[in-house]
Amino acid sequence: MIADILTGAIRSGTSVMLASQGELVSERAGVINLGTEGSMLCGALGGFAVTVWSGNPWLGTVAGGLCGLLISLIHAFLVISCGANQLATGLTIMFFGMGVTAFFGKGFVSQQIVGFNPVPIPLLSDIPYLGKILFNHDPLTYLSMLLVPMLWYLIFRTRLGIILRAAGEREEVLFASGINPRLVRYLAVLAGGFLAGIGGAQLSIAYTHSWVENMVAGRGVVAVALVIFASWKPVQAMLGAYLFGAAQALQLTVQQQGLAISPYFLFMVPYVLTLVALLIVERRKQSQTPEALGKVLAGSG
């Protein structure tokens, strides 16, 4: 039963995890993107549509990422170039994404695709317990697991990571070293949109093999919240996303045990548990917030 819950955690947490890694990159450069929800929806629809047309889920994944990137470009332009308020713009982008995808997605609701299926990894998937939990997933899930240590390395161990973090902390440093912080922020927001788009595509072409309007249903917003509570750290954001997934799997398992707990209460559990757990983590480590987060860039570029 515990193995089932942990397997479920990864299955249903992966889309949120991908989006939260993307949002993390964006916020490390100082831009909050509430439009992540919109990016995920665009990625889910774009990925699904291209998979329908091409029959190739890999092409669909790339297309999903690009769709997520495109909508985050609007956010980047408004926030970085026009100096618009980040939260207001993000919310607008989120609702824009809902509307656009509901409109263009109408014809795709009944389409069938050959999407990604779980591919057990030989030998590793035979390990008792662990094999089923970790090594029996779709290819995108494996890639997302590899992404996290790579991002950690990139952010904390490379020059590129220092540039990224400097854009979110002290833009003066970048000015002084001849790097345009606006460019760095643009790239970070686009990378974030791309990952969120892939998160959406994972939901539509790997997990559910379906498109339904507004199918992301708040997962993008959860991803943004996770980043803040995870103190802008990739591994913690991943654990947070899996915790969210585990809570969803847990509530389904609890229901099946026939325990007298109201499902309405259980629907709330994933959100509450994730918030509480990450709040505890947050309290221990004081103020990890990138200093320039949410600030409109002052420099003349």
Q: Which residues bind another protein (CB under 8 A)?
A: 4, 7-8, 11-12, 15, 32, 34, 37, 87, 91, 94, 102, 106, 109-110, 112, 117, 203-204, 207-210, 212-219, 221-222, 224-225, 228-229, 248-249, 252-253, 255-267, 271, 275, 286-287, 289, 291, 293-294
- CA geometry: angle 200, 6, 216, nearest 5 deg: 20
Query: In terms of CB distance, is 161 or 209 closer to another protein?
Result: 209
Q: In the bound complex, what is the minimum distance in angstroms from residue 62's beta carbon to another protein?
A: 22
Query: In terms of CB distance, is 209 or 277 closer to another protein?
Result: 209
Query: In terms of CB distance, is 106 or 157 closer to another protein?
Result: 106
Q: In the bound complex, what is the minimum distance in angstroms from residue 227's beta carbon to another protein?
A: 10
Q: In the bound complex, what is the minimum distance in angstroms from residue 94's beta carbon to another protein?
A: 8
Q: In the bound complex, what is the minimum distance in angstroms from residue 150's beta carbon to another protein?
A: 26
**Three-class SS of the chain:** CHHHHHHHHHHHHHHHHHHHHHHHHHHHCCCCCCCHHHHHHHHHHHHHHHHHHHCCHHHHHHHHHHHHHHHHHHHHHHHHHCCCCHHHHHHHHHHHHHHHHHHHCHHHCCCCCCCCCCEECCCHHHCCCHHHHHCEECHHHHHHHHHHHHHHHHHHHCHHHHHHHHHHHCHHHHHHCCCCHHHHHHHHHHHHHHHHHHHHHHHHHHHCCCCCCCCCCCHHHHHHHHHHHCCCCHHHHHHHHHHHHHHHHHHHHHHHCCCCCCHHHHHHHHHHHHHHHHHHHHHHCCCCCCCCCCCCCCCCC
Question: What tokens does 256 get?
Answer: 């099946």
Q: In the bound complex, what is the minimum distance in angstroms from residue 154's beta carbon to another protein?
A: 24
Q: How far apart are CA 142 and CA 116, in angstroms?
A: 12
Query: In terms of CB distance, is 183 or 212 closer to another protein?
Result: 212
Q: In the bound complex, what is the minimum distance in angstroms from residue 263's beta carbon to another protein?
A: 4
Q: In the bound complex, what is the minimum distance in angstroms from residue 282's beta carbon to another protein?
A: 9
Query: In terms of CB distance, is 65 or 200 closer to another protein?
Result: 200
Query: In terms of CB distance, is 21 or 33 closer to another protein?
Result: 33
Q: In the bound complex, what is the minimum distance in angstroms from residue 253's beta carbon to another protein?
A: 6
Query: In terms of CB distance, is 120 or 149 closer to another protein?
Result: 120
Cβ-count burial 100-133 (b if 16+ within 10 Å, e if not):
bbeeebeebeeeebebbeeeeeeeebeeeeebbb
Query: In terms of CB distance, is 74 or 222 closer to another protein?
Result: 222
